[in-house]
């Protein structure tokens, strides 16, 4: 029983960060319809910003997080302005190829600048874990869970309760009508991509100190983010959050009770099942297709 | 514009021709190591050690009157890439001998290429038993296979009072091979073997596996993987309140790096290692060890990398000794010469003995294995 409780705690902590990765991508992939292969690199970028700010500039750990979010926002805006804006209106394959190119270039750039050897970030949290009866959890991970939850709530409110969010949803439903209503479509494209990117960078900045930081760390994260978005349904923020927790639960219980060798396969088994039986995602409202 | 495009291939061709002329003056050794991906840290250390050996040899006049040149390629911690890199080194760079490929799965992927092109390779790190038992006569291994590690460990299990052990191993030929060889030895000693858990080589979160191991009735966990994953395991085990004894195998632990990155979580852990840079006087060739460590520090490398980099140093010296003995830089002659050399390695004399099926034996050297323990952030030696 205590082992099961420990798995549940692990799932909560892991699921929070998966959710954060998922909502960043669902904004870009789901709403903007851009298959964003740079999501993983932005995650890596956020982690390296954390490393630079804490270890090379010697600035406080807690200040590093907002700095990583801002840096991710700026890099995302730059990608949108230089790569995506000229391609607006071209088919999805062209955009996808350009994004794959950007992914490879940026990952190689990270390798060039920081080298392939993993870096680790020191944190101000105590090494001794918080013990709650039979289960224990590290303070750092609790902080990560809290920060992720906060970012998720902020994003949800931004999309559903603000004028910008309303304009974003309108733009991606019908660009021409939104434009006629006075929405600055160019600005909306750039800000949506920038917000999604800053969430990826935030996830990297939060998880970098938990794990280790290296140029390819974003690859597995990106694969999981795509899985979560498919689970939750394209553009569905609540779906991405729940999808993140489902993926974490499948991995934890799969590794704990089935076979640890297949841990990373568990999530994908679920995806295959979802794609076969409910291809629009687990939480998609019924809608007209085509 | 068109003119520029025509100019580019001409210039490239000129460089290529110049390059091949310059290269004829050197003797090449191909180095196939993971410089990116999951084993980047370890592979980079091995390459840095290899460079020290090459510089030392060149400072003494090179081999056969020519300069030694290392052709270093990144196999990206990926078996497919490792095989491609081997092919490139042999066919395009025309190296007569290789060193590589760090991981067992990487080395196993390269082995068919060695047969195809009849080129020998010095295996510096890999420990899967399969490498020297499947009948590949181009393999010459200086690292201990996991069975030798297990045999060395056998002597101390009584002192450690092991009763029941679990395994947590990397899910590849290295990890699974170690679990197999150590389980066999444990059972011979009457020690019960419990759960065998695996982790993907790129996995960063082992909490699920560790939570499971926390709940078993074993008192010891044998862990096999490289340093980056080990650091994460110690941190995550501490976060889960896992208080079992952890013993690591494989010699890729870089204990100083574990102490630096895992802090107090590393205390009480034991490690089977193949080099003692902390106690040069206790190594088989103290003079060579001291030279190597001094050179390593002089170049400003992290001391933690010594336990890994010495293999690159020994591997290149082994290949160079064989070229010298062969009298020419040709694969067949080097392969024959590898059987006749004796190199003063940092972890014992490197002499190849036959291993594997008759008629197509691989070479296997018999290095030493040591057990060290981390106490209060310091490394101490346990007698085996």
Q: pLDDT tens digits for chain B (384 residues)?
A: 445 555 555 555 555 555 444 456 899 999 999 998 888 889 999 999 999 999 999 999 999 999 999 999 999 999 999 999 999 999 999 999 999 999 999 999 999 999 999 999 999 999 999 999 999 999 999 999 999 899 888 888 888 888 999 999 999 989 999 999 999 999 999 999 999 999 988 888 898 899 999 989 999 999 999 888 998 999 899 888 888 999 999 888 889 888 888 888 888 899 998 899 999 888 889 999 999 999 999 999 989 899 999 999 999 999 999 999 999 999 999 999 999 999 999 988 999 999 999 999 999 998 888 899 999 989 998 776
Residue B329 and residue B243 share a domain: no
Q: Which residue of chain B has the CA closest to A5?
A: B211
Q: What total number of domains does chain B contain?
A: 2
Residue B279 lies in a domain: no
Q: Residue B211: which of A3, A127, A217 has the nearest Cβ?
A: A3
Of B273, B301, B334, the position where a domain reaches its end is B273
Which of A114-118, A210-214, B62-66 is predicted least confidently? A114-118
Residue B100 and residue B208 share a domain: no
Residue A158 lies in a domain: yes
Residue A261 lies in a domain: no
Task: List the beta bridge partners of residue B380.
Answer: B373
Residue B140 and residue B11 share a domain: yes
Residues of chain B with Cβ-Cβ distance to A117 below 8 Å are: 40-41, 44
**B152, two tokens:** 């060395």
The rounded distance, in Å, linking the Cα atoms of B72 and B84 is 13
A119 or A41: which carries more pLDDT confidence?
A41
Do the chains contact at A127 and B40, CB–CB below 8 Å? no
Q: What total number of domains does chain A contain?
A: 1
Residue A145 lies in a domain: yes
How many Å separate Cα B186 from the centre of its chain? 24
- The two beta strands, B164-170 and B220-224, are parallel
Residue B23 lies in a domain: yes
Contact in structure between B249 and B178 (CB atoms under 8 Å): yes
**B45, two tokens:** 């250390």
Residue A134 lies in a domain: yes
**A254, two tokens:** 């799969």
A224–chain B Cβ distance below 8 A for any pair:
no
Residue B261 and residue B350 share a domain: no
Residues of chain B with Cβ-Cβ distance to A217 below 8 Å are: 204
Q: What average pLDDT does the structure give for chain A?
A: 89
A251–chain B Cβ distance below 8 A for any pair:
yes
Of B67, B69, B51, nearest to B298 by C-alpha is B51
Residue B216 and residue B181 share a domain: yes
Residue B324 and residue B223 share a domain: no
Domain of residue B308, CATH code: 3.40.50.2300
Of B273, B298, B317, the position where a domain reaches its end is B273
Contact in structure between B165 and B194 (CB atoms under 8 Å): yes
Residue B350 lies in a domain: yes
**A90, two tokens:** 């071209």
Domain boundaries, position A190: 22-217
- pLDDT higher than threshold 80 for residue A213: yes
Residue B171 and residue B61 share a domain: no
pLDDT the model gives residue B315 = 97
pLDDT the model gives residue A263 = 83
Backbone angles phi, psi at A203, to 5 degrees: -60, -45
Handedness of CA B125, B126, B132, B136 (dihedral sign): negative
Compute the C-alpha angle A8/A14/A15, nearest 5°: 85
Q: Residue A260: which of B199, B238, B265 has the nearest Cβ?
A: B199
Query: ipTM > 0.90?
Result: no
The rounded distance, in Å, linking the Cα atoms of B207 and B214 is 10
**A190, two tokens:** 């750039």
The two most distant CA atoms of chain B are separated, in Å, by: 78
Q: Which residue of chain A has the CA closest to B262?
A: A127
Residue B35 lies in a domain: yes
Residue B124 and residue B61 share a domain: yes
Residue B295 and residue B184 share a domain: no
- The two beta strands, B343-345 and B348-350, are antiparallel
Of A117, A102, A4, nearest to A51 by C-alpha is A117
pLDDT tens for each residue of A9-24:
889 988 998 998 999 9
Of B99, B128, B309, nearest to B224 by C-alpha is B128
What is the pLDDT confidence band of residue A116, given thresholds at 50, 70 and 90? confident
Residue A224 lies in a domain: no
Residues of chain A with Cβ-Cβ distance to B44 below 8 Å are: 115-117
The rounded distance, in Å, linking the Cα atoms of B67 and B55 is 9
Task: List the beta bridge partners of residue B367.
Answer: none
**B227, two tokens:** 């340093």
Residue B266 and residue B155 share a domain: yes
Residue B188 lies in a domain: yes
pTM: 0.84
Residue B371 lies in a domain: no
- The two beta strands, B370-375 and B270-273, are antiparallel
Residue B262 and residue B163 share a domain: yes
Q: Residue B239: which of A120, A141, A264 has the nearest Cβ?
A: A141
Residue B265 lies in a domain: yes
Domain boundaries, position B312: 2-144+286-364
Residue B207 and residue B104 share a domain: no
Residue B372 lies in a domain: no
The C-alpha R_g of chain A, in whole angstroms, comes to 19
The rounded distance, in Å, linking the Cα atoms of A199 and A221 is 13
Residue A255 lies in a domain: no
**B74, two tokens:** 């990144």
Residue A76 lies in a domain: yes
Answer whether the bond into residue A246 is a cis peptide, omega within 30°: no
The rounded distance, in Å, linking the Cα atoms of B28 and B66 is 10
């Amino acid at each position: 029983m205590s082992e099961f409780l420990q798995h549940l705690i692990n799932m909560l902590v892991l699921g929070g960060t998966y959710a954060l990765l998922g909502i960043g991508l669902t904004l870009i992939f789901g709403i903007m319809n851009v298959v964003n292969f740079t999501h993983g690199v932005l995650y890596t970028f956020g982690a390296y910003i954390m490393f630079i700010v804490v270890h090379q500039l010697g600035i406080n750990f807690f200040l590093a997080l907002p700095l990583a979010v801002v840096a991710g926002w700026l890099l995302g805006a730059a990608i949108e302005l230089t790569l995506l804006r000229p391609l607006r209106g071209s088919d999805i394959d062209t955009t996808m190829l350009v994004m794959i190119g950007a992914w490879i270039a940026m990952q190689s750039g990270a390798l060039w600048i920081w080298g392939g050897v993993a870096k680790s970030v020191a944190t101000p949290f105590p090494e001794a874990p918080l013990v709650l009866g039979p289960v224990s959890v590290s303070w750092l991970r609790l902080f990560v869970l809290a920060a992720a939850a906060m970012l998720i709530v902020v994003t949800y409110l931004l999309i559903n309760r603000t004028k910008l969010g309303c304009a974003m949803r309108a733009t991606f439903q019908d660009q021409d009508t939104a434009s006629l209503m006075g929405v600055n479509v160019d600005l909306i494209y750039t800000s949506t991509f920038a917000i999604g990117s800053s969430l990826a960078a935030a996830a990297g900045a939060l998880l970098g100190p938990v794990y280790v930081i290296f140029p390819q760390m974003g690859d597995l994260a990106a694969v999981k983010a795509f899985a979560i978005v498919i689970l939750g349904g394209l553009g569905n923020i609540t779906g991405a959050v729940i999808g993140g927790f489902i993926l974490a639960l499948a991995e934890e219980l799969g590794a704990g009770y089935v076979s640890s060798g297949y841990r990373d396969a568990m999530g994908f088994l679920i995806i295959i099942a979802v794609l076969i039986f409910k291809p629009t995602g687990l939480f998609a409202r019924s809608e007209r297709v085509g | 514009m068109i003119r520029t495009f025509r100019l580019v291939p001409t210039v490239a061709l000129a460089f290529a021709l110049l390059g091949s002329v310059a290269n004829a003056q050197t003797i090449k050794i191909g180095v196939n190591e993971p410089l990116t991906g999951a084993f980047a840290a370890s592979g980079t250390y091995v390459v840095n050690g290899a460079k020290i050996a090459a510089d030392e040899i060149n400072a003494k006049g090179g081999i056969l009157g020519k300069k030694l040149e290392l052709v270093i390629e990144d196999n990206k911690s990926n078996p497919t890439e490792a095989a491609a890199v081997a092919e490139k080194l042999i066919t395009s760079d025309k190296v007569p001998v290789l060193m590589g490929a760090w991981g067992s799965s990487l080395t196993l992927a390269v082995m068919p290429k060695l047969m195809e092109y009849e080129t020998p390779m010095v295996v510096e790190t890999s420990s899967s038993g399969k490498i020297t038992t499947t009948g590949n006569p181009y393999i010459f291994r200086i690292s201990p296979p996991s069975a030798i590690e297990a045999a060395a460990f056998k002597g101390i299990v009584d002192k450690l009072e092991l009763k029941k052990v679990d395994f947590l191993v990397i899910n590849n030929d290295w990890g699974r091979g170690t679990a197999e060889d150590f389980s066999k030895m444990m059972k011979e000693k009457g020690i019960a073997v419990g759960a065998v858990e695996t982790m993907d080589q790129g996995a960063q979160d082992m909490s699920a596996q560790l939570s499971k191991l926390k709940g078993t009735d074993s008192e010891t966990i044998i862990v096999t993987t490289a340093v980056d994953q080990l650091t994460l395991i110690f941190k995550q085990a501490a976060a889960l309140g896992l208080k079992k004894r952890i013993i690591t195998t494989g010699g890729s632990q870089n204990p100083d790096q574990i102490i630096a990155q895992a802090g107090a979580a590393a205390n009480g852990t034991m490690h089977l290692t193949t080099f003692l840079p902390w106690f040069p006087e206790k190594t088989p060739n103290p003079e060579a060890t001291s030279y190597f460590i001094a050179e390593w520090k002089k170049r400003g490398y992290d001391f933690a990398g010594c336990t890994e980099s010495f293999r690159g140093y020994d591997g290149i010296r082994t290949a160079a000794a064989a070229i010298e003995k062969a009298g020419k830089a040709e694969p067949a002659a080097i392969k024959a010469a590898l059987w006749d050399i004796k190199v003063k390695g940092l972890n014992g004399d490197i002499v190849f003995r036959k291993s594997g099926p008759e008629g197509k034996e691989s070479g296997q050297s018999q290095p030493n294995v040591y057990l060290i323990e981390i106490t209060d952030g310091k490394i101490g030696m346990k007698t085996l």
